[in-house]
Amino acid sequence: MGRGRGGGGRGRGGFRGKNKKGGDRRDVRTEPWSDIRRENALFESYYKTGGFLDEKEFEQMWKYMASDLPNSFRFTGTKADALAVREIFKKRYIPAITAVEFEGEPVQPPEPVKAFPDELVWHMKTHKKVIRRYKPFAEFQRFLVAETTAGNISRQEVVSMIPPHFLDVRPGMVVLDMCAAPGSKSAQLAEMIHGDEEERVKRAASNESFNATDDGDYSDDGRSTGLLIANDTDYKRAGMLVHQVKRLNFPNLIVTQHDASIFPSIEMPPAPGSTKPQYLKFDRVLADVPCSGDGTARKNPNVWQKWTPRDGLGLHNLQLRILMRGLQLLKKGGRLVYSTCSLNPVENEAVVASAIQACGGTSKVQLVDCSNALPELIRKPGLNQWKVLDTSHINGEEKINHMFTSYESFLNTKEKYEKEEPARQFSNKITRSVFPPVDAPSEAERIPLERCVRVYPHLQDTGGFFIAVLEKLDDIKVAQPGASSKGKAGSTDATPVPVQASEHSDATPQLSAEDAVPSAPSPTKRKLEDTEDDAASKRFRTETEDPAQDATNKDGTTTSEPVNDTTSSTPGPNGTSQTPQPRLKSESQSQKEYFEYLPKDDPTVSDILSFFGISPRFPRDRFLVRNKEGLALNKMYYTSELAKTIITHNKDRGMRFIHCGVVMFVSHKIKDKDAMKAPWRLQNEGIKILEPWAGKRIITCKSRDEFYRLLIEMFPKLPKDGSHELGEVGEQLMQLDIGCCFLRIEQDESQGFPFRMVLPVWRHPGSANLMVDKDDRKAMLLRLFNEENPRIINHVMEKAKEEAEKESAEATEEAEGETEAKEEDTEMGDAPVGTE
């Protein structure tokens, strides 16, 4: 059930096939996941002797580490909707599960995780053999699947929910999620950015007063002015990300595909009275970086087989470069959260300390004491001292494990073996920056790494996780992380070099070649991908209205080759690998999707908004189309004002935008559409954004039975003359012209409506139809009417089937008649002459 992540780009268990370059990615395991022995002497030895926990507590932690991870999930969406769905879950499913007994003992039901507020996060520790045996668990599983599909539940690992809470996001803030796929944290951030805007928008649209600055910035007529940019370097993982965030239907969101370590500066319009462009700085940045993922060993058994100390050493420099870029993009006074699902200090405290030193010390960037954030979360402080593990070898054999306490001890050991065993090799990834920082001259200059947060598996039965919260106090400018402090290429004494800061010095003036194309491929987020995330990747397809781009493969991906943030290595002299100089790709190569805004006075938009009686206060200039010509052909998307500004100023600068906007209207392709006033359908995704501002074509439903009929039947009859079975809803629809309309259902516990709903309904000449797909219909029938396997009746399909069967029967009857006639003719032709 958990929606966790693997990392390191090492492939997913069970995946068979070849990568883009033809390499075999077959999983070579010979045993199933359940049979993998959760033992690794080196893995255990490092965390046992590395000074992380005392011996007794370590034994407790390691016992948890080798056990299965509880399943966990989170109620999502607006707080009101999330609480309503939570209550249905508590009242319907918890009592049924609590009543189950196994081997004479009551079964432990799902429980809320105390660390998170409002009982919106739950976990379940029940063993799989119990879950598979009893019906209440099967019913609960169906509920989870249905609500996850509907976007009301996110099945997510508990520890991965922590970083967004520490980021302290409020509506109106501009936020960057640097390594966002598959998107569960992005979904949390998006919810925080939008806050409780629905009620404020409703008041604004009704010309009632509302507080536009309470707990955030709602100055856009009650709408949050904030924005989330969710980024991932890998095209397929960006697809998972789009799949995850699209369900939330938030217009204040952009998905990009860039190497996080060189994420490009985003150009903004010049300040009033100036011609010089400005560059976007973020209020909040989340750097949940690629890591070795050893904290996920409870759900990723492959960690036990493949863990080595070089996993963390190999990722340290990339993690440092991502963190440094995040700090450059952060505003003064802004907050950045750095996190990993690894327990290795080389990937955690070492990265944080090196970044602060490279920025100029604690006067530029400070670690924030976040002990007050999630006060119920049980945690351990960050480490100020640690050891670095390396395994030396001679041609892959004769391995020796070494624990180094300082960079000098590493150099001394290496020098010793160079004399005694010249063939012995050490990791070339060990640099000064992977070790604890040297003692500071004063307490004010000391980096208080104890303010970092470590979550160990035994503390509250979770995976392992690391979080650090940093605040930017002043502008910074740093050398490229990984550059030699001695200026010697290839030196192992690599560490970021602090240089003198200057005002706005960390604003990159334009997209350089390095901004557009990284020098080496970055690993993906974790070592393993959950099956659910992989399925999302297969379902992903970039939406487009360009016919040339509409062809898709069987797995749902576009036929055009995705743009990758990598350059290929070519063989050099003596068989060495040479990486070509990065170059900025041309527009035709790099721009695979189109994002064009319609003009404010576009006649199609004007006709649609007039048809629905949309208030003139609703923005007319935020409608986006996805074709090169910028024409309203098929779909129209709605975005926030800031999203529009960013897209407009950066779409031709090499930025790779993957997704932006919420589908608001879709063209209704029928023969007589010219006779219609607005041949466009409202979409379920965007209808709640538009509905508060509508003055026409609003249908109200107050009856549970009438709504049930609309859900269970597609295209129920609504003739011009004659009776119908849609009650008051039908009577209201009868008064409307052909076209789409709003179905409004207010919260009413007496009718079983736990929260307010707005859904699109199409008024046909002889019928009506709720414009909701089958999965959403089934989710609503389960949520509101507790129907587990409803049969959705499609009158149009059934009528077509009846007509086809009738035609088939008539054709069969006609064929049989012709056969009988031929047989009769034959019999008469064979009769003797003269007989009667």
pLDDT classification of 133: cutoffs 50, 70, 90: confident
Kind and range of the H or E element at 531? helix 531-539
Largest CA distance in the chain: 132
Per the CB < 8 A criterion, the answer to whether 365 and 356 are in contact is yes
Q: Using a pLDDT cut of 70, give the percent of the chain over it.
A: 78
Q: Inform me whether the pLDDT recorded for 680 exceeds 70.
A: yes
Kind and range of the H or E element at 446? none
Residue 151 has a pLDDT of: 86
H-state helical runs in 173-271: 184-194, 197-205, 235-246
Name the burial class of residue 216, with classes exposed (0-12), middle (13-18) and buried (19+) by CB atoms within 10 angstroms of its CB.
buried
- Kindly report the average pLDDT of the chain as a whole number: 82
Q: Give the full edge-to-edge strand order of the sheet including 596-597.
A: 596-597, 623-625, 635-638, 662-667, 680-682
d(CA 828, CA 182): 78
Q: Inform me whether the pLDDT recorded for 2 exceeds 80.
A: no
Encoded tokens for 162 = 């922590």
The ranges assigned to domains in the chain are 33-159, 161-382+436-539, 387-432, 586-683
d(CA 471, CA 370): 11
Out of 3.60.15.10, 3.40.50.150, 3.40.630.30, 3.30.70.600, which CATH number does the structure's domain 161-382+436-539 have?
Answer: 3.40.50.150
Residue 481 has a pLDDT of: 52
Kind and range of the H or E element at 714? strand 713-714
**pLDDT higher at 522 or 117:** 117
183 is in an annotated binding site: yes
| Catalytic positions, written as ranges | 341
Residue 732 has a pLDDT of: 94
185 is in an annotated binding site: yes
Residue 484 has a pLDDT of: 40
Radius of gyration of the chain (CA): 31
pLDDT classification of 810: cutoffs 50, 70, 90: low
Q: Inform me whether the pLDDT recorded for 537 exceeds 60.
A: no
Q: Inform me whether the pLDDT recorded for 549 exceeds 90.
A: no
Closest CA to 115 of 85, 72, 145, 152: 72
d(CA 660, CA 638): 9
H-state helical runs in 38-183: 41-49, 55-65, 79-92, 94-98, 128-131, 135-150, 162-167
H-state helical runs in 151-183: 162-167
d(CA 476, CA 330): 10
Residue 357 has a pLDDT of: 96
pLDDT classification of 674: cutoffs 50, 70, 90: low
Question: CA 553, 555, 558, 562: dihedral to nearest 10 degrees?
Answer: -120
d(CA 71, CA 67): 13
Most confident of 266-280, 313-327, 524-538: 313-327
Which residues lie closer than 8 Å to 747 by C-beta, 6 or more apart?
A: 753, 754, 755, 756
Q: What does the DSSP 8-state code read for residue 561?
A: P
pLDDT classification of 824: cutoffs 50, 70, 90: low
d(CA 283, CA 290): 22
**pLDDT for 276-291, tens place per residue?**
989 999 999 999 999 9
Closest CA to 146 of 714, 769, 781: 781
Instruction: Give the range among 120-124, 208-212, 381-385, 470-474 with minimum mean pLDDT.
Output: 208-212
**pLDDT for 52-81, tens place per residue?**
999 999 999 999 999 999 999 999 988 888
Q: Inform me whether the pLDDT recorded for 519 exceeds 50.
A: no
Encoded tokens for 766 = 């002889």
184 is in an annotated binding site: yes
**pLDDT for 561-576, tens place per residue?**
233 333 333 333 333 3
What is the DSSP pairing of strand 662-667 with strand 680-682? Answer: antiparallel
d(CA 455, CA 441): 31
Give the SS3 label for residue 387.
coil
**pLDDT higher at 632 or 809:** 632
The model's pTM is 0.82
Per the CB < 8 A criterion, the answer to whether 410 and 431 are in contact is no
Instruction: Give the range among 271-275, 464-468, 596-600 with minimum mean pLDDT.
Output: 271-275
**pLDDT higher at 12 or 209:** 209
Identify the bridge partners of residue 760 per DSSP, sorted by sequence position: 742
Residue 129 has a pLDDT of: 77
Which residues lie closer than 8 Å to 535 by C-beta, 6 or more apart?
A: none
181 is in an annotated binding site: yes
Residue 673 has a pLDDT of: 60
Question: Angle at which helices 235-246 and 531-539 pack, to 10 degrees?
Answer: 90
- Residue for token pair 């010793």: 416
Mean pLDDT of 92-105: 89
Residue 587 has a pLDDT of: 40
Phi, psi of 530 (to 5 degrees): -65, 155
pLDDT classification of 834: cutoffs 50, 70, 90: very low
Which residues lie closer than 8 Å to 332 by C-beta, 6 or more apart?
A: 472, 473, 474, 475
Residue 566 has a pLDDT of: 33
Q: Kindly report the number of other CB atoms within 10 A of residue 31's CB atom.
A: 10
Mean pLDDT of 516-536: 39
Residue 385 has a pLDDT of: 95
Q: What does the DSSP 8-state code read for residue 474?
A: S
Mean pLDDT of 436-441: 91
Phi, psi of 433 (to 5 degrees): -75, -10
Q: Inform me whether the pLDDT recorded for 559 exceeds 80.
A: no
d(CA 125, CA 335): 35
**pLDDT for 387-420, tens place per residue?**
999 999 999 999 999 999 999 999 999 999 999 9
- Residue for token pair 């609480």: 83
pLDDT classification of 103: cutoffs 50, 70, 90: confident
Residue type, 680: W
pLDDT classification of 8: cutoffs 50, 70, 90: very low
Residue 602 has a pLDDT of: 95
d(CA 411, CA 419): 13
Residue 592 has a pLDDT of: 62
Instruction: Give the range among 227-241, 362-376, 686-700 with minimum mean pLDDT.
Output: 227-241
d(CA 661, CA 406): 50
**pLDDT higher at 547 or 775:** 775
Give the SS3 label for residue 75.
strand
Which residues lie closer than 8 Å to 403 by C-beta, 6 or more apart?
A: 49, 50, 387, 388, 389
Residue type, 445: E
d(CA 178, CA 285): 7
